[in-house]
Amino acid sequence: MGFRAPVRDIAFALNEVAGLKHALASFPDLDADTCLQVLSAAGDFTTEVLAPLNRAGDIEGARFENGRVFAAPGFADAYRKYIEGGWTSLNAPPEFGGQGLPRAIALAVFDMVTAANMSFGLCPMLSEAAIHLLTKHGTPRQQQVYLPKLVSGEWTGTMNLTEAQAGSDLALIRTRAEPDGEKFRVTGQKIFITWGDHDCAENIVHLVLARLPDAPEGTKGISLFLVPKRLPDENGKAGVANSLRPLSIEHKLGIHASPTCVMSYEGAEAEMVGAPHQGLALMFLMMNAARLNVGAQGVGIAERACQQARDYALERRQGRSAWSDDAPARLIDLPDVRRMLLLMKAKTEAARAICFSTAVAADLAEHAATAEERERARLREELLVPVAKAWSTDVGVEVASLGIQVHGGAGFIEEAGAAQFYRDARIAPIYEGTNGIQAMDLVGRKLGLAGGEPIRALFTEMRATLPDFDKEVARHLREAIAATERATEWLNLNRGSTDALAGATAYLTLLGDTVGGWLLAEAAHAAASLGDKDYARGKLSLARLFASQVLTQAPGLADAVAAGASELELGNAALSAN
């Protein structure tokens, strides 16, 4: 049947589960009807314009020819339509041409963009991060010259962190920035630069980490520089070419239509953003903005895999159903296939609810009426960002893998289409700080925020809602909350130790499972009051399945958290070469 943006599920998750309808009081010029109109229009655009390019983009990919990078066929035209529709400006500041909509609305649209075409969505995602950074830390001139162009989508943005010898360890970067009057000259090479060069926009604004000549060693010596592909002229238009170029594009497992470039900076003219040696802190602002979007990538790719697997299971006939006399029966009527499909759907909706809840918290952190509300929301956002990013992208990979399984042998054949989603999904757990880094951030820093108040408040809120829920769901959720609290207490007692780091990934999975199960229970409770019995029954079935299949694993995960690092240390012998 092909992809169709799940506008109803997205609007429901946004308003009834994540609570945007309550947060709209902080946006007096916005109402629920307008929000729905935006989502509906995004659904039409992603379904009709972006989704049809997804398969062809995977097959043909981006091209590097004679020192130039070309996006996959059709992408430049689709990008032109994207900016004409105003999709790059949704939550950008109005003073720079943005629409000033909630972050949660923009994230919901990005969910649909990624589901339709993940490779395409990576381009505006990075521009959004650049807008976020320059809005907060650009000079007045930088804001005046660059923000209107980035907000309109006429220019796109990138993040330049990684170098061949410096992956996640940015202390090792060698790119240099030499003072040249009021400007700087940047020299060095960066790798893995997503949409680092392309033919869809007239200019590209690179945000580049580099070292000044007198910089101290390590991360404390990193500064951030704005390096345009073309230097703006006196009228703010893209002028002469700067001294930078793409050297090649990577040949990747997936996202073939997204050009991932090796970039060479050869004395390129640059401007510093922020203060000297503060580059890493500023880049983390971009990364944090991008991390929530990467979480939504996991949701989007899971949604696409769900739709593909469901449609195949509705059409393919094989075996005998336990529920009917059909032989051969539709795959969807075989118990284990039905289990996989429901688990795929439940995890996708749980991840969506986590991401949207984090985005609503981000909106309230900036726009809530009182300082107390803003601070409470800020702490909730900080706590949930690593969960939204890591848990949701793990879900994207798992759901895409299950989608292949539903297809059986056909899923392993490229022509069936399911394999692309698995290949595309696999990058998201690596993007913007690997999921292991997210887990260490959660355990090492986020649990201790404000003396542990954010995680305690989350547990209190979850427990307070248990009486509203289906009894079986509530029982499993109560046990999962208790297991997560037990693991949290153990980590707090062992904070900063190797033992705590060894349990970090298991803890993030445990917390994501528990919060995801809670939000599915909230969804079932909210759906019961909508007057659509079939829709409510569907939400309840997802909450029940997740509770029985996922939340029941919580005690074991809590044990894994507290297992410590001793076996990891001893296990080095098992990894020694023979």
Active site residues: 432
49: its two tokens = 């314009």
Spatial contact of 89 and 285, defined as CB atoms under 8 Å apart: no
Cα–Cα dist 525/518, whole Å: 11
- The count of other CB atoms within 10 Å of the CB of residue 2 is 9
Cα–Cα dist 343/527, whole Å: 19
- The count of other CB atoms within 10 Å of the CB of residue 394 is 21
324: its two tokens = 């009917």
Count of CA atoms in the C-beta half-sphere (13 A) of 229: 21
Cα–Cα dist 539/525, whole Å: 8
Q: Given the DSSP bridges, would you call strands 238-241 and 244-249 parallel, antiparallel or unpaired? A: unpaired
DSSP of 126-177: HHHHHHHHHHHH--HHHHHHHHHHHHHTSEEEEEE--BTTBSS-GGG---EE
Burial class (CB in 10 A: 0-12, 13-18, 19+), 56: middle
Spatial contact of 113 and 127, defined as CB atoms under 8 Å apart: no
Spatial contact of 382 and 446, defined as CB atoms under 8 Å apart: yes
Cα–Cα dist 255/292, whole Å: 19
Closest CA to 512 of 391, 428, 380, 394: 391
DSSP 8-class letter at 503: T
Cα–Cα dist 137/289, whole Å: 14
